[in-house]
Amino acid sequence: MEQINGHPLYRKHDLDSAMSTLWSFYIKNFAVLFLFSFAANILIQYITSTLDMSKLTSLTDPYEIIAEMKNWIIPMLGVLAVSLIMILILQYYIIFKPLKSDLNLFAASYKSMKHLLPYLLLMILFMVFASVAMVAGILVFVIGMFFAALYVYMIGLFLLPVLMVEGNDPGKAIARTFTLSHRHFGPNLGYTAIILLIIIVGSIILSSVILIPFSGSFLKIIADPAEASEAMNYLSNPWFILLSALASALFTPLTPILAAILYFNARAREEEAEQFAVSPETEEGKIRVEDLYARPYSDDHPDNPDNQSRTEQ
C-alpha cells in the first residue's frame, strides 16, 4: 500500500476545505491537466463526429433504425476506450505526482496501464450494480432515480483511487470502496452533488456559447425537422469539434480531483479513528468497562485486600 500521508489532498475535509483544495490543486496543475484533457477530448469529439446521426432523421422503420445504430457500435466503443484511458491516466497523475516529484504525464500514462484490466472488470460489475440501483430508484419515482444515480456516481469515484493506492485485487477493492464511500456518507454525497452540479451547469453554459456560431443550423433543426439531416452537418465541423473539446477539457480534471479528495478524506478519518481506538491488550493500567462491574472478592480469597491487612496485623 502506498504511503499517501504527504499528499496535499490528504486531510479531513469539510465543504469549505474540499472546495478550496480542489480549486487550488486544479489551478496549480492546470496546464498539464487541461492540455492532456484537451488532446483526449479532441479524439473523442472526432470519433463522435463520424456517427452519421442525420440518417436517423429520415428513417421511420424501427428495424431500419436499429440496423443503422449497429454501425455506431465500433465508434462508441472507441469513445468508451478513450474516456476510460483518459480518466485512468489523469487519476494516476493526480494521486502520485505530488508524492513523486519526478513523475510526468508520460510516465503516468504507462504506469497507470497496470490498473486497466482490474478497472475494466470492476466497471462491468459496477454497471450491474448501477442498473439495479437505478431500477430501485425508478420504483420510488423521479427523486429516487436521481438519488440512486448520485449514490452510484459517488461510489464509483472511489474505485480508481482504491485500486491505485491499495492494490489491484478486485474483491478487496470492492469491499474497500463500499467501506470508504460510506465513511462520512452524507458529506461525501453532498460534495459529489455540488461538483456534479457545477460540471453540468458549466457544461450547459459553455455548450450554449459554442453553439452561437452555429445557431443558424441549430435553429433550422428546430424550425424545420425535415431538413435536420442537412442542418446537423455542423456536428462534423472542425471548429465545432475544437471548441467542444476545449469546453470539455475545462471540466474533465474535476472528476478525478474530486475522487482523490473523497478517498483521502475517508483515509484520513479512518487513520484518526484507528489512532484513538483503545486496545485493552496494549493499554496496560487502563480501567476497562468490565472492571467496573466485576464481582467482589470472597472473604477467604487470597487477593482480598481485607484478608491481606489482617495477615499483616
pLDDT of residue 83: 92
- Quickly state the pLDDT bin for 271 (edges 50, 70, 90): confident
Is residue 264 within 8 A of residue 7, CB to CB? The reply is yes
Q: Which grid coordinates belong to 193?
A: 452533488
Give the whole-angstrom CA distance, residue 189 versus residue 195.
Answer: 10
Give the whole-angstrom CA distance, residue 31 versus residue 34.
Answer: 5
Give the whole-angstrom CA distance, residue 155 versus residue 147.
Answer: 12
Is residue 126 within 8 A of residue 225, CB to CB? The reply is no
The type of residue at 224 is D
For the chain, report the end-to-end CA distance as a whole number of angstroms: 62
The larger pLDDT score, comparing residue 284 to residue 162, is at 162
pLDDT tens sequence across 191-235: 999 999 999 999 889 888 887 776 655 555 555 555 555 556 666
Per-residue b or e along 246-278, where b marks 16 or more CB atoms closer than 10 Å to that residue's CB: bbbbbbbbbbbbbbbbbbbbbbbbeeeeeeeee
Is residue 16 within 8 A of residue 271, CB to CB? The reply is no
The type of residue at 78 is G
Give the whole-angstrom CA distance, residue 288 versus residue 243.
Answer: 66
pLDDT tens sequence across 302-313: 655 555 555 555
pLDDT of residue 213: 73
pLDDT tens sequence across 38-86: 999 999 988 888 877 666 666 667 777 777 778 888 888 899 999 999 9
pLDDT of residue 2: 61
pLDDT of residue 139: 58
Least confident of 29-38, 149-158, 284-293: 284-293
Give the whole-angstrom CA distance, residue 203 versus residue 197.
Answer: 10
- Tell me what the mean pLDDT of segment 18-35 comes to: 93
Give the whole-angstrom CA distance, residue 287 versus residue 60.
Answer: 79
pLDDT of residue 182: 87
Q: Which long-range contacts (CB under 8 A, 24 or more apart) does 179-184 make?
A: 180/263, 180/266, 180/267, 180/270, 181/154, 181/155, 181/157, 181/262, 181/266, 183/266, 183/269, 183/270, 184/265, 184/266, 184/269
pLDDT of residue 282: 47
- Tell me what the mean pLDDT of segment 166-194 comes to: 88
Residue 125 C-alpha from the chain's centroid: 16
Above pLDDT 90, what percent of the chain? 32
Is residue 240 within 8 A of residue 234, CB to CB? The reply is yes
Residue 122 C-alpha from the chain's centroid: 13
